[in-house]
Structure 1
Amino acid sequence: MGNNLLKGKRGIIFGALNPDSIAWKVAERAYEEGATLTLTNTPVALRMGETKALAEKLNTKVIGADATNVDDLKKLFTESIEFLGGKIDFVLHSIGMSPNVRKERHYSDLDYNYLDKTLDVSAISFHKILQTARKLDAINEWGSVVALSYVAAQRTFFGYNDMADAKSLLESIARSFGYIYGREKRVRVNTISQSPTMTTAGSGVKGFDRLLDFAERMSPLGNASGDECADYCITLFSDLTRKVTMQNLFNDGGFSNMGMSLRALQQYEKGLYTDESTGKRSKDHSWD
């Protein structure tokens, strides 16, 4: 049941591939809260995913666009404004992809052509979206633009690879463009650093299941789900957060402020003193 937090607002959602996608959940929540919106993804993603089914559910349309292509973005904003009947109030950037991760290239042995693709798709596309919207004057005053990030922008995580570089750049773009857009048009630009979430993109990271477990044990409140991330996005799209901009906001159950939790320590200790050949503990080293 919605509370009409977005009643009368218009939005564009990038990256709703299937029901596991955070963008999919955000689109559903925005619609529940009274918004009208358009959905967009690359043509290949639209062929592989289920975005058209979501569009039917939300009584809207899908506009194919490559977020790295400025001409596509111009068409997207223009068609969205025409279809929705006015300028845009909120945008979600939920886009990320690394060929180096997919090809299991070690961070110390990156393919630089792949790296260029990672940065363009996962971060520079955010700048292109913002720049295109500003030049077209496509976003209303007090509008809100949100991109999804991850704590690997600040801390090193094994296996996250060049996506960490992309997330760092993404957050920098939010700050730099947030100043310009805020000063000129009162448009807010923020990133949400979400808990590891089992999406199509996330599952491509090596050892992701173990990362999920580790984050769950480390976080006082546990991992934030995709649905909970969608709720947070709605607050940032709403008028309740008019003075929040240029921020990287953690929605991770407290993980980002933890050093070591008891649950994580106990699991580590259990593994440390277990005989791998027998599966039994060699001796009791419990700290309880």
Structure 2
Amino acid sequence: MYNLLKGKTGIISGALDKNSIAWKVAEKAHAEGAKFVLTNAPIAMRMGEINALAEATGSQIVPADATSVEELTNLFTQSQEILGGKIDFVLHSIGMSVNIRKKIPYTELNYDYFNKGIDVSAMSLHKMLSVAKKLDAINEWGSVVALTYMAAQRTYPFYTDMADIKAMLESIARSFGYHYGLEKKVRINTVSQSPTKTTAGTGIKGFGDFYDFANAIAPLGNADAESCADYCITLFSDLTRMVTMQNLFHDGGYSSTGVSDDVMHRLGVENNS
């Protein structure tokens, strides 16, 4: 370990179970010397195993519905009390689509479900940042990271409304990043991660086939949850203090690769170059 987060404090949202990226981030942050509060929606906490993570990392849990300004205000207020002052980093790892769960095609979206997905998965970042700014809860040069996916830039039919929602999430990170950076030097970035075998990811129709496809395209293969956590730790650290308002691809090179020899071979196309 490198003590990259020694003396730093934070809030980590979205740790559901050992497969969660947020879970891995918490473990890595703890190993790098950070102290933090864990948070998730009450229903997610009942489904997950967050108590075991809290015990392993010596952390306290503050439940919060990320769509509620009141509960987020309580989260940031309590976190400062628990951690002894302003915080240095926040992980936004929150995503949900009822339309995907119910296998509703993109062209036939249920708009109530769509609005719910926007509120939970994207607007929650704006609410979180707005509350933190009003409370002046994040130290100067603090870092906020939100997890996203490349469907915000390219079309993946199975990702349906979450593609639009992730595009909104990334836009919020840029727009809020400008204002928060100008006023408080707080930096805000999104990490666009490879298809990852998390509880949420594997719930998407056709995930297994797409995981294999992306793995065959990316020259380094798919980035796993643990390596994503490593990357998030660097973004929380002082080593990246001038990086803000960016959408950072962490995908083994997938986003920059048009086609691979492996995929061409699988399609029966010979490379005669």
Q: Shared fold by TM > 0.5?
A: yes
Normalising to structure 2: TM-score of the pair? Answer: 0.98
Q: Match for residue 174 of structure 2?
A: 175
Task: Trace 1:55-70 onto structure 2 (pairs within 5 A).
Answer: 55-70=54-69
SS in 1 for 2:55: helix
The structural deviation recorded for 1:264 is: 1.1
Rounded to whole Å, the distance in 1 between the matches of 2:56 and 2:209 is 34
The structural deviation recorded for 1:287 is: 4.3
SS in 2 for 1:122: helix
Aligned amino acid, residue 166 of structure 2: K
Q: Match for residue 165 of structure 1?
A: 164
Task: Trace 1:210-229 onto structure 2 (pairs within 5 A).
Answer: 210-229=209-228
SS in 1 for 2:11: strand
The structure-2 alpha-carbon separation of the partners of 1:59 and 1:104, relative to structure 1 and needing over 3 Å to count, comes to same
Normalising to structure 1: TM-score of the pair? Answer: 0.93
Q: Which runs of 4+ in 1 moved over 3 A?
A: 285-288
Task: Trace 1:1-288 onto structure 2 (pairs within 5 A).
Answer: 2-269=1-268, 286-287=270-271
Rounded to whole Å, the distance in 2 between the matches of 1:142 and 1:213 is 38
Aligned amino acid, residue 60 of structure 1: S
The structural deviation recorded for 1:22 is: 0.0
The structural deviation recorded for 1:286 is: 4.3
Rounded to whole Å, the distance in 2 between the matches of 1:158 and 1:182 is 35
CA deviation map 1:64-97 (0-9, x unaligned): 0000100000000011100011101000000100
The structure-2 alpha-carbon separation of the partners of 1:287 and 1:242, relative to structure 1 and needing over 3 Å to count, comes to closer
Rounded to whole Å, the distance in 1 between the matches of 2:189 and 2:234 is 12
Aligned amino acid, residue 231 of structure 2: Y
The structural deviation recorded for 1:268 is: 2.4
Rounded to whole Å, the distance in 1 between the matches of 2:241 and 2:108 is 44
Rounded to whole Å, the distance in 2 between the matches of 1:32 and 1:62 is 18
Aligned amino acid, residue 137 of structure 1: D
Quick check: 2:261–2:271 contact (8 Å CA) kept in 1?
no
Aligned amino acid, residue 109 of structure 2: L
The structural deviation recorded for 1:158 is: 2.1
- How many equivalent pairs are there? 272
RMSD of aligned residue pairs (Cα, Å) = 0.8
Rounded to whole Å, the distance in 1 between the matches of 2:203 and 2:98 is 10
Rounded to whole Å, the distance in 2 between the matches of 1:20 and 1:13 is 15
Quick check: 2:249–2:255 contact (8 Å CA) kept in 1?
yes
Fraction of identical pairs, as percent: 63
CA deviation map 1:106-132 (0-9, x unaligned): 000000000001111111101000001
The structural deviation recorded for 1:203 is: 1.0
Q: Which has the larger radius of gyration?
A: 1
CA deviation map 1:184-220 (0-9, x unaligned): 0000000000000011111111100011000000001
Unmatched runs of 5 consecutive residues or more in structure 2: none
Rounded to whole Å, the distance in 1 between the matches of 2:185 and 2:99 is 37
Rounded to whole Å, the distance in 1 between the matches of 2:157 and 2:267 is 17
Aligned amino acid, residue 187 of structure 2: R
The structural deviation recorded for 1:13 is: 0.3
Aligned amino acid, residue 186 of structure 2: V
Rounded to whole Å, the distance in 2 between the matches of 1:196 and 1:268 is 22
Rounded to whole Å, the distance in 2 between the matches of 1:119 and 1:263 is 37
SS in 2 for 1:259: coil
Rounded to whole Å, the distance in 1 between the matches of 2:271 and 2:64 is 55
Aligned amino acid, residue 233 of structure 1: C
